[in-house]
Amino acid sequence: MNGRGFAVACANIALAKYWGKCDEALNLPAVPSVSVTLDALVTETEVVVDPALAADLFTLGGVAQDGGAVRKVSEFLDLLHGGAPRECARVTSHNRFPSSSGLASSASGFAALAAASARAYGLDRTTAELSALARRGSASAARSLYGGFVELPAGTPGDGSLAARPLHDADWWDVRVVIAMVTKAPKDIASRDGMRRTTRTSPYWDAWLACAPGYARTVREGVARRDLEAVGAAMEASTCAMHASAWAAVPAVRYIRGVTLDALDRVEALRREGTGAWATMDAGPHVKVLCAAADAARVAEAMRSAPGVVDVRVAKPGPGIVET
Ligand code: 2P0
């Protein structure tokens, strides 16, 4: 068989954060999360099944990968086959943004890989099945199968079927996410390691478990009402609680840098001046600012002039997976 699959997936930003697992083996989130898929952060992946290969090959951004990166892809292709024997594949992927720096490249990466590999191996899968599969690679990837506003419920230990579910299409709400990048370097602590350390050692882990579902509910209800202030406030509370729980791990899991705080000062200043702008951070130092479409240019300008900001992109709600 020489099957081929190609898929384009957008990354997503959690408005209410996922952090920590209730089942590590099945990669099930301990808390519910709500995201918006972003049109500006795109991964393109091609999978070609090649019976002549003795091992899988993985090229990312034009660079042949080895070791752990190839192993992750191979394990994912094994999962797709439920452990049954399979032919090897050539996987070629390209992120149109910096990889592994807290810009959710694993979300778009595993979403695109799930769709492209199912197609290449001729396996018919529903979007929900692809979402559950992508979740095994990276829980946030489950959300990137869908466009617009998406929820990933908390998992139940032992139940591997958990998938994200779409809440509203991309055209539901004309918001913008202004992405202020403060470095192009890869992050220091992989999310998976950061989550494990938080779960095992943070005195604030239980507090995070207690508060996260409420933030997810407030965000979900706020998105349904298109209430930017409610969503923005709950989004900031969710990110601060997530980072606080991680920071209190031993040793600390700290993604926030000085430049992150400078950018946050800028967001607070925008609000004081009357512009609706709210910030969120993921497993990296970058700051993403939620605002109305009409305010995006002003917010982008303010972030561009913040000390340490090296690049600014403006994203809007984007589409779900596209396969060819
Ligand atoms: C999120 N993040 O909800 C949260 C907020 C980062 C901070 O999901 O271990 O790559 O592969 O399931 O999905 C990033 O972690 O972690 C993430 P794994 P993932 O977007």
Q: Of 172, 97, 95, 107, whose CA–CA distance to 135 is shortest? A: 107
- The preferred substitution site among 18, 101, 162 for testing ligand 1, maximizing ligand atoms within 8 Å of CB, is 18
- With b for 16 or more beta-carbon neighbours within 10 A and e for fewer, the 155-165 pattern comes to beeeebebbbe
| 258's tokens | 């000085």
Please give the pLDDT value at position 40: 86
Give the Å distance between the CA of 3 and the centre of ligand 1.
31
- 6 phi, psi to nearest 5 deg: -135, 135
What is the pTM for the complete model shown?
0.96
pLDDT in tens, the chain (324 residues): 679 999 999 999 999 999 999 999 999 999 999 999 999 889 999 999 999 999 999 999 999 999 999 999 999 999 999 989 999 999 999 998 766 555 667 899 999 999 999 999 999 999 999 999 999 999 999 999 999 999 999 999 999 999 999 999 999 999 999 999 998 777 789 999 999 999 999 999 999 999 999 999 999 999 999 999 999 999 999 999 999 999 999 999 999 999 999 999 999 999 999 999 999 999 999 999 999 999 999 999 999 999 999 999 999 999 999 987
Do 324 and 195 contact (CB within 8 A), yes or no? no
Give the Å distance between the CA of 151 and the centre of ligand 1.
13
Taking the C-alpha atoms of residue 162 and residue 129, their distance in angstroms, rounded to an integer, is 9
Taking the C-alpha atoms of residue 246 and residue 260, their distance in angstroms, rounded to an integer, is 16
Q: Whose CA is nearest to atom 17 of ligand 1?
A: 140
Give the Å distance between the CA of 138 and the centre of ligand 1.
7
In whole angstroms, what separates CA 210 from the centre of its chain? 22
Q: Of 146, 133, 150, 137, whose CA–CA distance to 106 is shortest? A: 137
Which residues have C-beta atoms less than 6 Å from ligand 1? 14, 17-19, 27, 33, 106, 138-140, 191-192, 195, 282-283
Q: Whose CA is nearest to atom 9 of ligand 1?
A: 192
Question: What is the number of the ligand 1 atom nearest to the C-alpha of 140?
Answer: 13
Q: Are strands 149-152 and 63-64 parallel, antiparallel or unpaired?
A: unpaired
Give the Å distance between the CA of 224 and the centre of ligand 1.
24
